[in-house]
Amino acid sequence: MERRRAARPVERAGSGGHWGITMVATAPHLFAAFFAAAGNFIYNYQTLITGAAAIGAAWYAGAPVWRQLKDSNLQTRIMHRETLAIRLREAEERAARVAKSIDEPLWTAQRVTSDPVGEPIEIGEHDAHGVEQMIQGALDWYLVTLEGTEDAPVEAAKTALKAALKDLTDTLSDVHWPAWNDQHGEDYSMTDDQWAEVLQRADEGAKQASAKVSAAWKANRTLKDAQQGTIDGLRKQIAALDQSIARNA
């Protein structure tokens, strides 16, 4: 008996069998090539990848710290703004109180040492005594108690005003003293020459009072300008902080 040969499979063009065999045969090679390429990429750029990962981790870990620092800085600015606001309010209140304490006495002094057109006139003993009582100690709470507590320009103006007021009150005292005292008292006695000097100082003081009042007014205006400079400076600082806080809130 003759043996029959096994039939040989015929590959037909366009049949699905050929392409199916090809896909099954090449898929493992594609995956292997992909992983090999990925491995090479990681190997070649491992330093860059490690650095990028480290940066990312640092950013992720540091983000809360940065936000905390930003919030802390904002809070510091807000607290500084509140401190400046307190200083501004105190400066404005001081300036208003100083004006109330000394402006009216100086206006009174000007009325009794100048005529309606501004020409100087001699002050009498009664007016000299009254004005001295109004000015004496009126600003001790400020010029003495608060000495050295403000900005340098204000302190310099305070010192000048203190000296001008003392010069004025000393002159007013010279004017009215002979009217209330005699050459000889219970605990003192003056020679004729000494008494003549007292009377001469009174006469000269009556004539000089107007100029002393003008000097006190000038010192007072200088103080007002210095106080206003401090107030304006505080307002500018507060405005700048307000803008900064608004940008970072």
Domain ranges in the chain?
A: 67-248
Check pLDDT > 90 for residue 8: no
- Give the model confidence (pLDDT) of 199-239 as tens digits: 999 999 999 999 999 999 999 999 999 999 999 999 999 99
Contacts of 101 (CB under 8 A, 6+ apart): 138, 139, 141, 142
Q: Is 148 helix (H, G, I), strand (E, B) or coil?
A: coil
Contact assessment for residue 114 and residue 121, using Cβ atoms and an 8 Å cutoff: yes
Tabulate helix, strand, coil % of the chain (nearest 5).
80, 0, 20
Contact assessment for residue 175 and residue 205, using Cβ atoms and an 8 Å cutoff: yes
- Give the model confidence (pLDDT) of 103-125 as tens digits: 999 999 999 999 999 999 999 99
Distance (Å, rounded) from C-alpha 32 to C-alpha 210? 109
Distance in angstroms between the alpha carbons of the first and the last residue of the chain: 103
Amino acid letter, 86: I
Amino acid letter, 236: K
Contact assessment for residue 128 and residue 209, using Cβ atoms and an 8 Å cutoff: yes
Single out the residue of 236, 178, 223 nearest to residue 202, CA to CA: 178
Contact assessment for residue 86 and residue 222, using Cβ atoms and an 8 Å cutoff: no
Contact assessment for residue 74 and residue 248, using Cβ atoms and an 8 Å cutoff: yes
Percentage of the chain exceeding pLDDT 70: 71
- Give the model confidence (pLDDT) of 52-78 as tens digits: 555 655 555 555 655 666 667 888 888
Reported as a pLDDT band with limits 50, 70 and 90, residue 83 is: very high
Angle at 206 between CA 204 and CA 212, to 5 degrees: 90
* 67-248 CATH, one of 1.10.640, 1.10.1760, 1.20.120, 3.40.91: 1.20.120
- Round the average pLDDT of the chain to a whole number and report it: 83
pTM exceeds cut of 0.85: no
Contact assessment for residue 83 and residue 238, using Cβ atoms and an 8 Å cutoff: no
